[in-house]
């Protein structure tokens, strides 16, 4: 393993010098487009643990259901996910939005499993104020490691699969808008007013876009 990287260590120490949630960077910041090098022990174990705690706190505070390190300006292949799935029963059922316990994804990489796709509105803490419809594989195979370095090799389905894909895409320098149906783009206040249905069929009709 390479020795801890001192420039990166300094950057993260500085970031973590103040307690509390970190600033989330918005679309347009190059760090969100750069892609991330794999995590290979660039940080000391203690600093890695502090970074993960800060990512979790920042995700909770936002609030959001996932956060990738580049979203706080850190160019490392690390993300966290957690979703209490506190949504009405009809939405939970239509979107398979089951609770996702807290997980740390280090060096994650996914592939779609099977032909089934899911099409729903999705948003991003780095693109505040808007959501758009994204079609993604309903089920994925994820590989990577957890925070202890133990391998991850498992299937995710339903809403947790969407979260994992969204966060892993961040680590590849992608935003959900790169995959979105752009005619579906909706401001949050309009979404709350008009498109609260469990599935985006009415939005497709109203805004003039095709569902797969």
Q: Which residues bind Zn ion (CB under 5 A)?
A: 124
Tokens of 92: 């939970």
Rounded CA gap, 50 and 20, in Å? 12
Q: What is the phi-psi region of residue 158: left when phi exceeds 0, alpha when psi lies from -120 to 50, beta otherwise?
A: left
Query: Of 9 and 135, which CB lies nearer to Zn ion in the complex structure?
Result: 135
Instruction: Give me the least distance between CB of 77 and Zn ion, in Å please.
Output: 15
If residue 11 lies in a helix (H) or strand (E), which one and from where to where?
Answer: helix 6-15
Nearer to Zn ion, 42 or 168 (CB): 168
Catalytic residue among 82, 122, 139, 167: 167
Longest dimension (CA), the chain: 55
Shortest CA distance to 76 belongs to which of 110, 53, 106?
A: 106
Q: Which residue is nearest to Zn ion (CB)?
A: 124
> What tokens were used for 193?
């007013």
State the Cα–Cα distance between residues 92 and 22, nearest whole angstrom: 30
Smallest gap from residue 37 Cβ to Zn ion (A): 19
Nearer to Zn ion, 69 or 124 (CB): 124
Cβ proximity to Zn ion: between 124 and 140 the closer is 124
Which tokens sit at 62?
A: 């936002």
Output the smallest distance, CB 36 to Zn ion, in A. 14
Q: Let me know if 170 is exposed, middle or buried by CB neighbors in 10 A (0-12, 13-18, 19+).
A: buried
Q: How far is the CB of 180 from Zn ion (least distance, A)?
A: 12
147 in active site: no
Residues tagged active-site: 167
């Amino acid at each position: 393993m390479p020795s801890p990287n001192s420039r990166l260590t300094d950057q993260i120490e500085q970031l973590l010098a103040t307690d509390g949630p970190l600033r989330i960077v918005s679309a347009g910041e190059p760090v969100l487009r750069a892609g991330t090098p794999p995590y290979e022990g660039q940080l000391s174990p203690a600093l890695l643990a502090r970074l993960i705690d800060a990512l979790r706190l920042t995700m909770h505070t936002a609030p959001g259901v996932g956060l990738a390190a580049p979203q706080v300006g850190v160019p490392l292949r690390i993300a966290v996910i957690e979703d209490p799935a506190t949504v009405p029963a009809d939405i939970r059922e239509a979107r398979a939005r089951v609770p996702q316990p807290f997980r740390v994804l280090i060096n994650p990489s996914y592939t779609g499993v099977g032909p089934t796709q899911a099409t729903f509105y999705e948003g991003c803490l780095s693109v505040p104020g808007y959501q758009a419809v994204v079609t993604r594989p309903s089920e994925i195979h994820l590989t990577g490691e957890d925070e202890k370095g133990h391998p991850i090799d498992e299937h995710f389905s339903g809403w947790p699969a969407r979260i994992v894909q969204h966060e892993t895409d961040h680590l590849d320098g992608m935003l959900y808008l790169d995959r979105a149906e752009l005619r579906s783009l909706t401001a949050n206040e309009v979404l709350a007013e008009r498109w609260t249905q469990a599935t985006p069929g009415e939005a497709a009709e109203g805004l003039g876009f095709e569902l797969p």
